[in-house]
Structures are given as C-alpha cells and as structure tokens.
Amino acid sequence: MGQTKDETRKNTGDMSQEPQIVFQNVVKYFGNTTAVEKMNLTVKKGEFIAIMGSSGCGKTTTLRMLAGMETPSEGEIRLNGQRINELKPSERNTPMVWQSLALFPFLNVIQNVEFGLKMRGIGTEERRRRSLEWLSRMAIEEFAERSIDQLSGGQRQRVALARALVTEPPVLLLDEPLSALDANLVVRMQGVLSRLQKELGITFVYVTHSQSEAFAMADRVVIMSKGVVEQVGSPQEVYRKPASRFVANFVGSNNILNGDVSAIDTSSVIIETEIGAVRANLPTDHEYSMGVHLGLVISADAMDLSMTEEQSKDNQFRCRLVSESFVGAMVTMLVETDSGIELKIQLFQKELDQIGFSENTSSSGTFLWVSWSKSSVYILPQ
Amino acid sequence: MKNTGRLLTVILIGYLVFIFIFIFTPIITSIIFSFNSDRFPTIPLGSFTLKWYELIYNDPDVWEAAKNSLIVSVSVGILSTIIGFCTAYTDFRYEFRFKNMYLALALLPPTVPLIILALAMLAWFSKIGVSGQLWTIVLAHTVLCAPFAMAVIRLRLQQMDADLESAAWNLGASEWLAMKEVVIPFALPSIVSAMCLTMAVSFDEFAVAWFVSGLNKTIPVMILEILQGNIDPQINAIGTFVFFTSMTLVIIAQLFFTFRSPKATL
C-alpha cells in the first residue's frame, strides 16, 4: 500500500530524469540458492536509502552487485542511465565503506585516503592536497602520518569515509559501517553521516540490520527478506503502514492481531480477533466481505491506558499488567488481555501520571483498561 | 600436578639442550679447526691461523664454485618465489574443482626422495640433451624449492582480509594495479622470507646438484670432491663460510616470516 503510493509520487515528480540507480528485474543466484529475487528498485539522486533485513536476506549481495563485486544473474542495473552489469568494479565510481573497513594496513592514514586518487592517475601534489582537505573535513588531519593500527575505531571509520569520498563520487555505498562501534559512537557517527550526506548532496546506499540506524538516517528504507523486497517506503510509511506481515513483525513495537470480518457498516469494519471484536476504519476502496480473514496492526504508541472503564471508546479491553520497563521518558508495558494475548503499549511517563497510574498502584496483576481508536488500526494488505 | 608439570619442563629443556648440542657441536668444531694451524684435526690445538682462508681465497676453483652457487641460488630464489607466489595467490583468490588436488600436486616435490628426484632429473635432461649445464641445476632446484616458497606466502595471504583486494578495485584499481599496490605489498614480508629460504635451500643442496651439475660444480659438490681426495682443513674454512651464509639467509627468512602487520581490526 505504502509502496504503490510512493511509486506514483515518484513517477509523476521525476518523469524528466531517469533515477540515478535502477534495479530492473534483478536476480542473483549462488548455485542453487537465490540470493536476490526479481528486484525492482529506483533510487533518486541525492537520496539516502537504507536496505534493511536480517542476515542472509540479500541486502549485502544487492550492494555488492551495485559495486560490481557480484554480477546479476538476470535483469539489469543502471547507474545514471547507463547499464553497468558488465562493468568491472574499477570502472564504476561507486566507492564503498566496508563492514571490515578494509583499510590498507601497510599504508598510513593519508596514503589510504590518497589511494583512489592515485589509481586514477592524479599527480602527487593534488592528491595530497585533496586528501588533506578530506582529513580535515573528517577532523582527523592530525593523524595523517599515523599508521592505521594507531587509530581508534571511530577514527578508522572516518579514514574509511574520507578514502571513499575523496574521489567525489556520485554514489556512496555503505555496508554496515557502524556495526563494530559501541553505542555512543554509533549515534555520533550517524550524525556525521547524515550531515555529510546533506552537505554533499550525493546518494547514499546504506545496508544495515539495525532498524534504529536505518530509521534515524534514511529518506527511504527497503525491507528485504529471503531475497525479496518486502516494502520500500519512508520510515514513517514502513512503520505505520507495513506492506506485509513480515514487515509488521520486523519493525517491532507493533501488536499484530488476526481475525475474520464479522460486520461491515458505512464507516467501519468489525473483525472478530483472538482478543475479541476489534473495530477499524473502513477503507474507501475496500473489497471486504463477511468472513474474510484479515491481519491487523496496532502500533504500541497508538494505545491509551486508563485505570477504569471509559465510555465511547472504539476499542477497549480489560488487561492485566505483566511487566513494565522505563527508558528515559518512555514506558513500555506488557499487558495480557482476558483471553490471554499479550499486548505491547508505549506511553510517556507524563501520560501515566495523568491517568493516576503510579509505582504504588502498579504491581503485576493490576487491572487496566487499554483502548485505541479505530483509525489507528491498520489492516494489512491481503 | 604442579610437580609433574615442573618435571616435564625440566625434561623438555634438557631435550632442547641436547638437540642444540648435537646440531651445533660439529659445526662449532669445524669452525674452530678452520682457524687451527695443524693439518689434522686433533687436540691439543696448534696455533691460530688464517692460512686455510688464504688458501681458499687464492683458489680459482673455489671462486668458480662460489660463483656457480651464487648464480644458481639467486636464480632459484627468484624463480621459485615467483612460482610460489602465483600458486599461493590462485589458492587465495579462486575456488575451482580439484583445487585440493592442485594444491597437493604443487606441494609434492619435497616429498619425493631427493636421490630419486635427482636421478629422474639427470635422466630427463640427458634425454633432451641439455645435461651438465648450469641452468639445469636452476631448473631442478626450482622444482624442489617452489613448494617451500608457496607454503610461506600462502600462510601470509591467509591473514589477508579478502575485502582488501576488492576495496582496491572499488577505489578504481585494475586487477593488475590491485596486485601491485595491495596484494604484493601485503605479502611482501613473506615474499622476502620465501626468497631467502629458497636461496638457502638451493645453496646447501647437494644430491640433485651432484647428479645434474656435470662440470659446473656448486660449493656442496666441490666440498665432496675435495673430501674424496684427502683430508684438507680448507674444508673447514669453506664449511664455515657456507654455514654463515645459510644461517644469515635462514635468519632473515625467519624474521620476515614471523612479521605480522598489525591487523586493522576494530
């Protein structure tokens, strides 16, 4: 759903110009296994796109095909309108930041950064000048003459970035570049990357298994599973309108319910689920009939809580508190409905105070009323 | 438990000491007698002298043999290192059917008894009518030494992050440039090590050289020929020279072999 909407917007907005990167029916086999299946994807110039999925989903293979380390078995990949399937890695200008960083251990910092320029036959002086510029841009010019093993993880990361960007490429590929850093540094480097991408205005293709990294930086995310693109959309779309059950599960903090349509009126549809009847908005273009099986997604932060039963709620269920955990100002609660199904709820601490919920009254087993509006129920595409 | 551990240490140290005694006593004896004025190696020693060294210095045959040995060992060092590098690189870079068989074949020559290898070489060289030439020794030694070079270089390449070469291509290096700028610099310590090691092996090798050499004697062949004639303290002087040359090469090889560039891991 999110996907189709996104496609139409792009097609109308960008007719004049071919997108920078196009994957057209790309398939990649390794022996008998299919690593990437019928991939269709377009990336606009200057976009920050994150390809996300668990390990073995084909995200790294996709990136390696873009860099030329793998050749597609079928289909076509175009970069700036030119077919690149047959180009050698050295004939594309698609530098990559590697998960292992792959810095050359026998070269010092500035020699590492100069490498790409040297391979392009650029003279010693200009090479040095441009590399120094990038080192200072990454705030590591003081380490120019150091050897790689004398640097910290974050500094190496910056060297790897400078090395990839010094040739001023149209596209930068990043393969889980932050996976080896500790949490604090990850947040800092996310800031560095986002800012860099905006300043340079070049396309970033970022492969990660981390939802927080992808959502924090990307304009659009691609969610892959077992070689198949499950959804392409902005982080909000993927989060609010998951295109499939897989995506709904993958992006976490969602409650997923299943049931059959038991009633339809002019504005809403009622689905008999495992926790009872749930009321949802009736989509205008619906094709639901009685008894159709549907999957529902209600995100944890769309749920409300009260200590007593309230009137005029679209959906309201009595639950028992199972557990709660606090992260900063956010509280995540697990509750169990009378029918024994667990629901996840996310609220601000402030909201909890307002409804008179406090540490003292909240022992596990306390009865609460959980409610949500019918508009926050998202019906998964069938 | 602790006591048995200590006992074991003592035994092992004793064992090591004995090995060193057995290896080095004859060599050291030979070195000492090379400075002894007496014609026969007897104790008590005579006076200190350099005359045996003067003798070999003034002997054109020794120079000829030394020149032959130098030419052979340097050529063998270079050739077998090149072949060894190529074999090690194919192992590192490519996956193919029968790769294990390929590797086994590449490592085979040192397992063939030297005398068999030497005889086979002689027979084959005579058959094609090239026996007795210096370069046939080079060829025969290269067959023998290339597997050592390969083993040394292969160990180093195994430490290389496979992404390193891809990273070079990714930054615009052609396959040749990546080889020149990344693979060879990374493997350089092992390349130097392999070269020194194969030079040392070739320099000391006797059996194959004796069979194949004809009139172009290398030093080990010449030593045997002198020994067959008479007891001559010149041998001790030549032996000392050979010992120090080989030791230097092997020590350099070892130093480079154990070299580990600090790996750029996080």
Express each pLDDT in A20-57 by its tens digit: 999 999 999 998 899 999 999 999 999 999 999 888 89
Question: Does residue A357 have a pLDDT over 80?
Answer: no
Identify the pLDDT of residue B265.
39
- Report, as an integer, the average pLDDT of B205-229: 85
CA-to-CA distance for A70 and A54, rounded, in angstroms?
20
pLDDT tier at A207 (50, 70, 90 boundaries)?
very high
Contact A180 B266 (CB under 8 A): yes
Q: How many domains does chain A have?
A: 2
CA-to-CA distance for B242 and B245, rounded, in angstroms?
5
Q: What is the pLDDT of residues A232-248, one digit of tens each?
A: 999 988 888 888 888 98
Supply the mean pLDDT for chain A. 87
Q: A272 and A210 in one domain?
A: no
Q: Report CA-CA distances (Å) from A32 to A28, A65, A76, A360.
A: 10, 18, 21, 60
Contact A68 B167 (CB under 8 A): no
CA-to-CA distance for B189 and B181, rounded, in angstroms?
14
Rounded to a whole number, what is the distance in Å from the CA of A102 to chain B's nearest CA? 5
Q: A290 and A222 in one domain?
A: no
CA-to-CA distance for A27 and B89, rounded, in angstroms?
30
| Residue A22 placed within a domain | yes
User: Under a CB-based contact definition with an 8 Å cutoff, are residues B257 and B189 in contact?
Assistant: yes
Percent of chain B whose predicted confidence (pLDDT) is above 70:
97
Identify the pLDDT of residue B59.
86
Q: What is the pLDDT of residues A154-190, one digit of tens each?
A: 899 999 999 999 999 999 999 999 888 888 888 888 9
Comparing C-alpha atoms, which of B150, B159, B155, B158 is closest to residue B194?
B150
Q: What is the pLDDT of residues A46-89, one digit of tens each?
A: 999 999 988 889 999 999 999 999 999 999 999 998 999 999 99
Tokens 């090690």 locate to B88
Q: A80 and A27 in one domain?
A: yes
pLDDT tier at B260 (50, 70, 90 boundaries)?
low
The chain B residues in contact with chain A (CB within 8 A) are: 161, 163-164, 166-175, 177-178, 181-182, 185-186, 188, 261-266
Rounded to a whole number, what is the distance in Å from the CA of A101 to chain B's nearest CA? 8
From A192, A214, A248, the end of a domain falls on A248
Query: A338 lies in which domain range?
Result: 253-379
Contact A101 B181 (CB under 8 A): no
Identify the pLDDT of residue A263.
86
Question: Does residue A95 have a pLDDT over 50?
Answer: yes
Q: A87 and A197 in one domain?
A: yes
pLDDT tier at A3 (50, 70, 90 boundaries)?
very low
Which amino acid, one-letter code, is at A381?
P
Q: A337 and A212 in one domain?
A: no
pLDDT tier at A375 (50, 70, 90 boundaries)?
confident
- State which fold the B63-257 domain adopts: MetI-like fold (1.10.3720)
Residues of B with Cβ-Cβ distance to A106 under 8 angstroms:
185-186, 188, 261
Nearest to A102 among B163, B172, B181 (CB): B163
Q: What is the pLDDT of residues B64-120, one digit of tens each?
A: 999 999 999 999 999 999 999 999 999 999 988 899 999 999 999 889 998 999 999
Question: Does residue B200 have a pLDDT over 90?
Answer: yes
Q: A177 and A235 in one domain?
A: yes
* Best mutation target, A99, A106, A189, to test chain B (most B CBs within 10 A): A106
CA-to-CA distance for A168 and A94, rounded, in angstroms?
10
Q: Report CA-CA distances (Å) from B101 to A229, B85, B117, B147, B150.
A: 41, 18, 21, 14, 15
Q: A71 and A27 in one domain?
A: yes
- DSSP structure string for A212-251: HHHHHH-SEEEEEETTEEEEEE-HHHHHHS-SSHHHHHHT
Question: Does residue B141 have a pLDDT over 70?
Answer: yes
ipTM of model: 0.80
Residues of A with Cβ-Cβ distance to B181 under 8 angstroms:
115, 118-119
pLDDT tier at A309 (50, 70, 90 boundaries)?
confident
The DSSP bridge pattern shows strands A48-52 and A220-225 to be: parallel
From A248, A266, A286, the end of a domain falls on A248
Contact A100 B177 (CB under 8 A): no
Q: What is the pLDDT of residues A111-146, one digit of tens each?
A: 999 999 999 999 999 999 999 999 999 999 999 999
Q: A264 and A229 in one domain?
A: no
Q: What is the pLDDT of residues A318-327, one digit of tens each?
A: 898 888 888 7
Nearest to A102 among B161, B173, B177 (CB): B161
Identify the pLDDT of residue B14.
94
Other CB atoms within 10 A of residue A10 CB: 15
- Report, as an integer, the average pLDDT of A329-336: 86
What residue in A sits closest to B182 (Cα-Cα)?
A: A104
Identify the pLDDT of residue A291.
83
Nearest to A90 among B173, B188, B261 (CB): B173
Q: A371 and A290 in one domain?
A: yes
Domain ranges of chain B: 63-257
Q: A70 and A41 in one domain?
A: yes
What residue in A sits closest to B187 (Cα-Cα)?
A: A106
| Residue A142 placed within a domain | no
More confidently predicted of A161 and B230: A161
The DSSP bridge pattern shows strands A254-264 and A268-273 to be: antiparallel
Question: Does residue B5 have a pLDDT over 90?
Answer: no
Helix axes B60-93, B99-106, angle to 10 degrees: 170
Q: Which CATH number goes with the domain that contains A275?
A: 2.40.50.100
| Residue A122 placed within a domain | no
Identify the pLDDT of residue B132.
79
Q: What's the token pair of residue A83?
A: 């077919």
What residue in A sits closest to B263 (Cα-Cα)?
A: A105
Nearest to B262 among A95, A149, A163 (CB): A149
Q: A367 and A279 in one domain?
A: yes
- Report, as an integer, the average pLDDT of B225-240: 83
Nearest to B174 among A68, A90, A116 (CB): A90
Q: What's the token pair of residue A219?
A: 């304009």
**C-alpha radius of gyration, chain A, whole number:** 25
Q: What is the pLDDT of residues A243-281, one digit of tens each?
A: 888 898 888 778 889 899 888 888 888 898 988 888 888
From A219, A248, A277, the end of a domain falls on A248
Contact A101 B266 (CB under 8 A): yes
Identify the pLDDT of residue A12.
40
Q: A353 and A285 in one domain?
A: yes
Q: What's the token pair of residue B248?
A: 């230097």
Contact A100 B261 (CB under 8 A): no
The DSSP bridge pattern shows strands A330-337 and A315-327 to be: antiparallel
CA-to-CA distance for B80 and B83, rounded, in angstroms?
5
Contact A89 B166 (CB under 8 A): yes
Q: Which CATH number goes with the domain that contains A226?
A: 3.40.50.300
